[in-house]
Structure 1
């Protein structure tokens, strides 16, 4: 009886590695809920009591609707990595997506609810959370801390997920690198990569994806540091087809043209064929004349092999 049970488990594990799994990966800096004194020119509030009547006066309903559309427009399980999310925004977004959506990650300023989150959202109808951790991007990653001259505390959130229908597992990580210190960005992405590698050592040779606002363009510090590791592949440099003609991901609240490309989806490990990349796109952040964030959403459709 015991040998039969063990054989069943073995066959399930073999099947989980053999089956392919289409998956959608989303990265988006949604802009924190700024009060009136810190809002930028052209920035609408996150929410007001008039949101339900005049949605053009706030950002919240548009952010939720875009995320719902990205998750609904595919039969694939969707992983959403967000940046700059405050606790109230996270609850709003999860409430808008529906009760089956959960998150991992905490506020970066106390490891609980204070400060910005870099959360990973997932639908529990499709995915089971196997493991999660959050580490600070600093020389002391297990402590609430600043790293290498950073202007803010920075974190990486990592989860191991299992697809319920197939048993296939994968790793996803999400981060937001510092906007002040180049050293903090370069050293911070090394922490991110080392933590992904540590999770792979713990859970086996799983495919990994990474989302994030790098505050670094492709020819700059953090991007180059990660690329030089030859560990993960940025989706625009893969075989993936680009869907639309938008490139720049940071726009501010007044420039529809945009300023820079600093938000990315990565996958790998590069030396092993864990993913096939189908498509990627940068999604417009202006809805009915409202800049719903100062960043555009990036989405990649991959197949975990």
Structure 2
């Protein structure tokens, strides 16, 4: 007999491109594209109260813009959206965040942390061949209505270092096992990892996650005839030398009697007839159910 009701939820992940002061050819500044990004987030979560928004490359001022946009009544004592995450450079507000946004009226946050994907994961650092400091944001959330608990993770792996991407994947998998065996282990029914892995299917990080059997790609859990939108998730701004590729994912892991079912998978467009790219990546959306 099922101990908790079935839980439907949506996971949206998007590398939003940091607010650079030196835009690429084809890229408009953040101030000109932020409303497009906010409209995207609002549209895809408006009537999906259980949604998580996982973002990457978010500078602090972008974080403030997104919070203000998601919470138009910001002075309310109970804003609709909250987040977990820190800037990767100092563990506070410096550098890029990989935040997870959620609705506190829907989810109770039990615990969260930021882990640095390095040999010293408890402090800002980089190791191996990484060009930049890299992090994973981890949260344990209980769904207030159903009682289901999920382990949520948002990350952005290095774009230069193959060894660092592989080691990062191993660190993340070890953290998943740590949580499953820790004080929340009896509660956690499902795990998801969302973000930009900078790794295609035949490359190190993706192969480590999925080859281990710990994680499964939502893309492959939906019949090809039912996927919606684009295939590639990285597009650039139209003038980059590297070709479009699929490097952004929602990966799933489950434990015990509870399992994930994938009802829908989509890669949304990042440019429309206004000609403006809201990012050099597309948003990936997975509609899930935790059952068991």
| Global fold match (TM > 0.5) | yes
The structure carrying a bigger helix percent of its residues is: 1
Contact 1:230 1:270 (C-alpha < 8 Å) held by counterparts: no
User: Unmatched 5+ residue regions in structure 2?
Assistant: 72-78
| Equivalent in the alignment of 1:72 | 46
Q: How far apart are 1:201 and its partner, in Å?
A: 1.6
| Change beyond 3 A, Cα 1:85–1:153 | same
Determine which of 58, 62, 69 is the counterpart of 2:36.
62
Q: How far apart are 1:273 and its partner, in Å?
A: 4.4
Contact 1:240 1:277 (C-alpha < 8 Å) held by counterparts: no
Aligned pairs (5 A) from 1:257-276: 259-269=244-254, 273-276=258-261
| Change beyond 3 A, Cα 1:240–1:128 | farther
Contact 2:107 2:144 (C-alpha < 8 Å) held by counterparts: yes
Aligned pairs (5 A) from 1:163-242: 163-202=143-182, 203-205=184-186, 206=188, 207-239=190-222, 242=226
| Equivalent in the alignment of 2:12 | 26
Equivalents in 2 of 1:32, 1:224: separation in Å? 27
When the two chains are superposed, the root-mean-square deviation of aligned CA atoms in Å is 2.0
The normalised TM-score by structure 2 is 0.90
Contact 2:139 2:153 (C-alpha < 8 Å) held by counterparts: yes
Aligned pairs (5 A) from 1:56-205: 58-74=32-48, 76-98=49-71, 99-202=79-182, 203-205=184-186
| Change beyond 3 A, Cα 1:271–1:229 | farther
Q: Secondary structure at the match of 2:228?
A: coil
In our comparison, the structure showing a higher alpha carbon Rg is 1
Q: How far apart are 1:139 and its partner, in Å?
A: 1.2
Q: Secondary structure at the match of 2:68?
A: helix
How many equivalent residue pairs? 278
Equivalents in 1 of 2:28, 2:280: separation in Å? 10
Q: How far apart are 1:243 and its partner, in Å?
A: 3.5
Contact 2:56 2:97 (C-alpha < 8 Å) held by counterparts: yes
| Equivalent in the alignment of 1:41 | 25
- The CA deviation string for residues 164-219 of structure 1, in whole angstroms up to 9 with x for no partner, is 11221111011000011000000001111111221222212421011010011111
| Change beyond 3 A, Cα 1:239–1:163 | same
Name the stretch that deviates more: 263-272 or 288-297.
Answer: 263-272
Q: How far apart are 1:18 and its partner, in Å?
A: 2.3
Equivalents in 1 of 2:204, 2:89: separation in Å? 25
User: Unmatched 5+ residue regions in structure 1?
Assistant: 1-13, 48-57
Q: Secondary structure at the match of 1:146?
A: coil
Q: How far apart are 1:268 and its partner, in Å?
A: 1.4
| Change beyond 3 A, Cα 1:251–1:271 | farther
Contact 1:231 1:270 (C-alpha < 8 Å) held by counterparts: no
- 2:269 corresponds to 1:284: yes
